[in-house]
Amino acid sequence: MIRNILIGVLAAGVIGTGVWGYNEHQEKEALVIQGENTYQRAFHDLTYRVDLINDELGSTLAMNSKERLSPSLSEVWKITSEAQNDIGQFPLVLSSFSKTEEFLYKLGEFSYRHAVRDFDEEPLTEDEYENLQTLYSQSEEIQTEMRNVQSKVLKDDVRWMDINDQLQAQDEPLDNSIIDGFHIIDEKVGAFSEVDFGAGDSHLSSNAKEIAENLSGEEINEEEARDKAAKFLDSGNKGNIDIEMAGEGLEYEAYTVTVPDEKHDTTTTMDITKKGGHAVWMLNEREVEEQKISLSEASEKAKAFLERNEYDSMQLVDSKQYDNIGVFEFVVLKDDVRIYSDAIVLEVALDQGDVIGFEAFPYLANHKKDRDLEVSLTQEEAEENLNPHLDVKEHHLGVIENQLEEEVLCHEFYGVIDKDTFRIFINAKSGREEVVQKMQNPERIFKG
């Protein structure tokens, strides 16, 4: 009797487990298929878009009318960014397709640059036309390879999930024609002779690279870097300062210095460049307590900190309070011109008023002694180029980096349209509207 009951219970258990297992399996399959479909879509979209890019570039070559050239190039620009997005969805390791992604990015930049320019004033030069031709033939090569991989994918019924697993497992030499196909594409793109993408593709050069080029001064040794850090932080105790050289991955040589902050029982870390001994950034580890001093008092402290460290003639251009921390942006003021590209950001703790953060990347990358600060347009002349709806409230002169990453001297206007504040930079030489920026309003707190 008992035996029969036991058998019954066990049988029920086995069947139950079976059903449960089957359901789990079904669910997992559904998820895998869903993931697979996302990958498939990204891949086929990408091949399609590479096709489109090729077509569109081809047609720009045949175009003579300026009215058509701009829209066509902006179309290329749009498709390249969509294609980049597709690559972002890819299951492949980041490295295997980076050259192609970079190519797409550069192509996008190139087409944008030319799409926004006025072809009536500056028609396409012979060199630029040749560039377009080269790009066209290169995109054709990528297209062919992509088509090749795509046909393999379709023929062999390849599942990206499997490829992904293989890659993840880091198996021995992958004998996989698909991945090889991708490597071939990437290598080809990497080997393309550099097209001159026009006006220096500086977008690709980072701040770090610019810093490396712009640093000035004598090289300092570890001991001097220690002194420098102690002086910068106004810390008397030099004994416990840790110092380390940053690795070769950094574009410029720098020491990473860790200084104990005995007052708060914590540490401060900062980078000092080897050449010239300039402070790059500084961060204090401590936790900030409740706010005790006002933002404006804190801005005085920030200013004093800069002056103590011999950053002269800096002007506060923006301040913001984040709960118990004040963030201040200072720029160089030269002959009453705000040099926005030479910016330094400071963070001040609003409990005790000490500086807990410092960063001078833009300052180090751009700071120069001599700048051309000659305006050819007066404020009134520049104002004529503004939108008539704008109610102008404030005016300054400022040097900024425009979209093409060139430094330009501008008239800076703050104005209001309805409830919103705008900042508009008008080139002080050409009268061009360089940057129009809607200033951010405070954000309402959403209570989830």
Per CB under 8 A, contacts with another protein among 92-111 are 93-95, 98, 101-102, 105-106
> What are the two backbone dihedrals, phi and then psi, of residue 396, each rounded to the nearest 5 degrees?
-140, 170
**Which residue lies nearer to another protein by CB, 115 or 280?**
280
Query: Token pair 């705000």 is at which residue?
Result: 338
32 touching another protein, by CB under 8 A:
no
403 touching another protein, by CB under 8 A:
no
**Which residue lies nearer to another protein by CB, 269 or 309?**
269
174 touching another protein, by CB under 8 A:
no
**Which residue lies nearer to another protein by CB, 134 or 319?**
319
Q: Whole-number minimum distance, CB 401 to another protein, in Å?
A: 14
Residues 217-246 interacting with another protein (rule: CB under 8 A): 244, 246
Nearest to 58 by CA among 117, 124, 137, 115: 137
Read off the tokens for 262: 């005995």
CB neighbour class for 77 (10 Å; exposed up to 12, middle 13-18, buried from 19)? buried
124 touching another protein, by CB under 8 A:
no
How many CA atoms are closer than 13 Å to the CA of 38, on its beta-carbon side?
A: 12
Q: Are 298 and 348 in contact (CB under 8 A)?
A: yes
Q: Whole-number minimum distance, CB 294 to another protein, in Å?
A: 3
Residues linked to residue 359 through DSSP beta bridges, in sequence order: 281, 345
Binding residues for another protein, total number by CB under 8 A = 78
Read off the tokens for 206: 């980072």
Among 26, 137, 144, 206, interactor with another protein by CB under 8 A: 206
Q: Whole-number minimum distance, CB 284 to another protein, in Å?
A: 8
289 touching another protein, by CB under 8 A:
no
Dihedral (Cα; 46, 52, 54, 55), 10-degree rounding:
160
Q: CA–CA distance from 439 to each of 237, 382, 423, 431 (Å)?
A: 44, 20, 7, 22
**Which residue lies nearer to another protein by CB, 68 or 209?**
209
**Which residue lies nearer to another protein by CB, 56 or 109?**
109
Q: Are 357 and 403 in contact (CB under 8 A)?
A: no
Residues linked to residue 255 through DSSP beta bridges, in sequence order: 245, 272
- Per-residue interface string for the shown chain with another protein, residues 125-164, x marking contact by CB under 8 A: ----------------------------------------
**Which residue lies nearer to another protein by CB, 10 or 245?**
245
Q: Are 425 and 412 in contact (CB under 8 A)?
A: yes
Residues 305-364 interacting with another protein (rule: CB under 8 A): 318-323, 325-327, 343, 345, 347, 357, 359, 361-362
CB neighbour class for 264 (10 Å; exposed up to 12, middle 13-18, buried from 19)? middle
3 touching another protein, by CB under 8 A:
no
Which stretch, 58-66, 87-95, 148-156, 217-225, contacts another protein (CB under 8 A)?
Answer: 87-95
